[in-house]
Structure 1
Amino acid sequence: MTDFQREREALGAWLHRLRRDSGLNGKELALRLGWAPSKVSRIENGRQTPTEPDIAAWAGAVGRPDAAEELVARLHALDSHYVSWRRSLQAGHAPRQRVGAELDAQTRVLRIFEPGMIPGLLQTAEYARTLFSGLVDLNGSPADIAEAVRARMERQHVLYEPDREFHILVTTAALRTRVCRSEAHRGQLDRLLAVSSLGNVRLGVVPDRAGWPLAPLHPFWIYDERLVQAEIWTAELNLTEPREIGLYRRVFDSYAEIAVYGAEARRIVNQVVEELVREEEAAAERSAAASAPAPRPEATVPVQAARPGAEAAPTAGPTSGPSASAAPPAAVGVPSGEGGSAGEGGTPTVGGSGSGPFGMRGAGGGGRPAGEPLRQQPHSQQQPHSQPQPQPQPQQPQQSPQNQLPPQLARSEEVRQPPAFDPAHAVGVAGGDGGGGSGGGGPDGAAARAPAPEGEADLYSNSSRAEQS
């Protein structure tokens, strides 16, 4: 049983004795006070704490108003053990900080355990301001935040009195707990490092991987060997019984055994500071990336889909004179290719383009003026043709009867090598690379054809004469 419960039961026993001495039972007293009978029973048995108006009304109902003053004093003693925040903060947070300062001044050795935040004696102004703002909103207490921060900063002067000792334990989680903006939290950790250098302050940090002998249930402060204060969300507990103080002292000592001190404690604090710096840099990079304009998509040139095996479009070139010999070598195609338009006799023209049976287009050779002797290109100057890659066989266009080859000249899929040049069958310069292009003609306007290989010259000759006729 705690001191608080023991004193509450003692107060209930005093009230029970007054009712009994008056000759009233519980129901009769409840009827006089306008209460439910259960309330009278709970107060007398120490299960409910009466208020000052309750005690004054009780004393008057039993005919002992003179006993009210003593009973209220007992109630105040009871309140010193269990102080609700609503009652403690009625005048604001600044008065509560001044009461704490008086208690600190009466203490020689102060032991503090904080598992979730930086202790008040080590807080910076901005860190404390953020905490007070949250508590004002939670409890609905007076918003004396600036005055409360000032009172807490004044309370920290006790740290610089050398005749006092402070043993403070915090967890790594308390170092990382972010209750204010990042820059302010980093300043709070710097403040922690500065205070730890004081000769009368012993700062211990419980590492993340430490094995806790007892669970860190809540924070508590041990004032010498006479008082333990523990805070919960609804009230502050003041424990004065020696047995309770001894128990909290054993708990504190077990936590101190797994904590690290000195250089190792400062290393952990600096490690948390470095984590904050990295987070700030990453946040700055994300902010810069979000504010940067989106890159424009690169302009792309549309590529026309070419037919399988198609080559580049023909280009114009010289059609007569000595430079005509620089025209592309004889085409590797069959005479049935669709040739370009032949030039008129005696007029230099640009050769047409031809398409062979594989869909490959070639530039036709230039025309030859009438009367100019035929120039044969030496085989040594002809450029060898690269073996074309097999391509899908396109659908053959419908040819007119006059352009169809004799059955003997049906061409296989295999590309033939360029035949030897025969001047007897050539009238103009042969067409360029591609499928059998025909170039500009001579005086009679006939299209030039590639010379037939040996053994097929007669067939090509017959075909040419047949087409000319």
Structure 2
Amino acid sequence: MSASPSSAAQQARKAVAARLRELRLDAGLNGRDVARLGGWHPSKSSRIENARTAPSDEDIRVWCRVCGAEREAADLIARSRAAESMWSEWRRKQRTGLRQLQESYNELFQRTGLFRVYCSTLVPGLLQTSGYATALLTAITEFRKIPNDVDAAVAARLERSGVLNERGRRFALLVEESALRFQMGDADTMAGQLGHLLTVGSLPGVSLGVIPFSSRCRPIWPMENFHVYDDALVSVELLAARVTVQQPSEVALYLKAFGELSQMAVHGARARALITSAIQDL
């Protein structure tokens, strides 16, 4: 059984605290030494190290500096921030419907220049048509038994997708062939959606790759849908929550996975052939 969001966040906090303790021990210092060198009350280093108090960004910088480990600071700050905000529960975000959730992404989209998206089960939200998005968000609304504001949520999603046409932005989008085959809505809805992929894949800033069923000896397995925003943040979509990853070493892991998945994908005419085949099989 997977950990709950709250327990996962607490484990992340403890991991930060444990790493701070390791840095202190490596420096040959005790807790009072860290407090004295940092200009803190003697109990503060103990509270931080035992995960009773979440350290601020500046606390982490000071800790790393007095331990002679300044190079660790950026990674630990990112890990600490992630521990506080890594889980954004769908239940909380969706309790008033789906429109607010859709609009919550707007600021992130506006400040992102390079979007990398991998989807194994669904057409990426950026590429969804009104019919496909309506079928998907209706299914989510009914499954979660939340207020039905699907029309407004779809409108917000489509409005956000306008970034595809903005100059200066780049989109690297990967889908498993299965995402072309799992049917959301009726056959006409899927045909319209797949036809839209043929159109949007030709936009100047868009690279659309499809990983074929026929890929042999995959170097990396199909995984959960994830979005990478520039090189700074990864959003991973799970059933119970959206996980936000900001720790540089973990962002790098997703970038590595995206790179290997990209090597398996086909683009251009070969990708269009797979999309066309899926349309013909409806």
* TM > 0.5 fold call: yes
What is the distance in 2 between the residues matched to 1:242 and 1:126?
A: 37
Contact kept in structure 2, 1:109 and 1:166, CA below 8 Å:
yes
2:122 is matched with which residue?
Answer: 117
Residue pair 1:221, 1:228 contacting (<8 A) in 2 also: yes
Contact persistence 1:175–1:189 (CA under 8 A): yes
1:172 aligned to which of 174, 177, 202: 177
**Residue type at the aligned position of 1:181:** D
Q: Deviations over 1:155-210 (max 9, x none)?
A: 11000012000000001111011111001100000111110010100000111111
Where structure 2 has 5 or more consecutive residues not aligned to the other structure, the ranges are: 1-7, 18-42, 44-49, 53-79
Q: Secondary structure at the match of 1:260?
A: coil
Give 3-state SS (helix, strand or coil) of 1:215's partner: coil
Q: Is the 8 A contact 2:86 2:245 kept in 1?
A: yes
How far, CA to CA, are the matches of 2:215 and 2:86 in structure 1?
A: 33
Equivalent residue in structure 2 for 1:161, among 159, 163, 166: 166
Q: Distance in 2 between matches of 1:111 and 1:170?
A: 11
Query: Structure 1 residues 123 and 180, CA, compared in 2 at 3 Å: closer, same or farther?
Result: same
Deviation at 1:76, TM superposition (A): 9.7
Q: Which residue of 2 aligns with 1:196?
A: 201
Partner of residue 284, structure 1: none
Equivalenced residue count is 216
| TM-superposition CA deviations, 1:201-242 (whole Å, max 9, x none) | 000011111132111121100011110000110000000000
CA drift of 1:260 comes to 0.5
Is 1:245 the counterpart of 2:251? The answer is yes
Find the counterpart in structure 2 of residue 236 from structure 1: 242
Q: TM-score, normalised by structure 1?
A: 0.44
Q: Give me the TM-score of the superposition, normalised by structure 2.
A: 0.72
**SS in structure 2 at match of 1:187:** helix
- Pick from 111, 131, 135: which aligns with 1:126? 131
Separation of aligned partners in 1, 2:115 and 2:146:
28
Structure-1 residue corresponding to 2:221: 215
Amino acid at match of 2:101: R
Q: Retained in 1: the 8 A contact 2:141–2:148?
A: yes
Q: Hey, what does 1:138 align to over in structure 2? A: 143
CA contact (8 A) 1:120 1:152 kept: yes
1:267 to 273, 277, 281: 273
Distance 1:247 1:10, change over 3 A: closer
Gapped runs of 5+ residues in structure 1?
12-20, 22-43, 47-74, 277-469
Contact 1:113 1:252 in 2 (8 A): yes
Contact 1:3 1:239 in 2 (8 A): no
Aligned pairs for 1:38-437 (under 5 A) are 78=83, 80-211=85-216, 212-276=218-282
Indicate conservation of the 8 Å contact 1:114/1:174, yes or no.
yes
Deviation at 1:140, TM superposition (A): 2.4
**Contact residue 228 and residue 245 of structure 1 kept, 8 A:** yes
- For residue 159 of structure 1, what is the amino acid of its counterpart? L
Separation of aligned partners in 1, 2:81 and 2:149: 25
Q: CA RMSD in A?
A: 2.3
Deviation at 1:249, TM superposition (A): 0.4
| Matches of 1:239 and 1:111, distance apart in 2 | 14
Aligned-residue offset at 1:10 = 7.0
- Please say which structure displays the higher CA radius of gyration: 1
Cα gap change, 1:84 to 1:8, in 2 (>3 Å) = farther
* Shift in alpha-carbon separation, 1:268–1:123, aligned structure 2, 3 A: same
Q: Compared with structure 1, are the counterparts of its residues 4 and 183 closer, same or farther at alpha carbon in structure 2 (3 Å cutoff)?
A: farther
Q: How far 1:149 moved relative to its partner?
A: 0.6
Distance in 2 (alpha carbons) for counterparts of 1:197 and 1:175? 17
Q: Deviations over 1:67-95 (max 9, x none)?
A: xxxxxxxx997552111111111232111
Contact 1:94 1:151 in 2 (8 A): yes
Structure 2 contact 120–224 (Cα < 8 Å) conserved: yes
Once the two structures are superposed, what CA deviation does each residue of 1:85-109 show, in whole Å capped at 9, x if it has no partner? 1111123211111111221111000
User: Take 2:137 and 2:10, find their aligned partners in 1: how far apart are those partners?
Assistant: 28
